[in-house]
Amino acid sequence: MTRRRDPMAIRVEVAYARPDRQALIALDIKEGGTVQDAIRCSGVLAEFPEIDLPRTKVGVFGRRTALDAPLRDGDRVEIYRPLIAEPKDARRDRARRTKR
């Protein structure tokens, strides 16, 4: 028997990845819910305590957004980790090593 979804709910996913472990959590939240609502309801903050939500960058389908941005049915919320190196600097270093 399948469980009926609340007609006032939307289905979203919350994604977070570390080099050693990833999480993709599907959940229903109330219509009009925000990025922050989805992250908190997903349980990802308990599973990955290193996430400092007020300081962490987030997005929906690869586009940066604010924590208070409203979500639509089917959205995927992504929690981004800080960059270890700037992409331009990393490319420049790789090009230098290749020339040698």
Mean pLDDT of 1-11: 71
Quote the pTM value: 0.78
DSSP helix/strand/coil, 9: strand
pLDDT tens-digit profile of 49-84?
999 999 999 999 999 999 999 999 999 999 999 877
**Answer CATH for 9-99 from 3.30.70.20, 1.10.10.10, 3.10.20.30, 3.40.640.10:** 3.10.20.30
Assigned token pair, 41: 């309801």
Cα–Cα distance for residue pair 51/44, rounded to 1 Å: 9
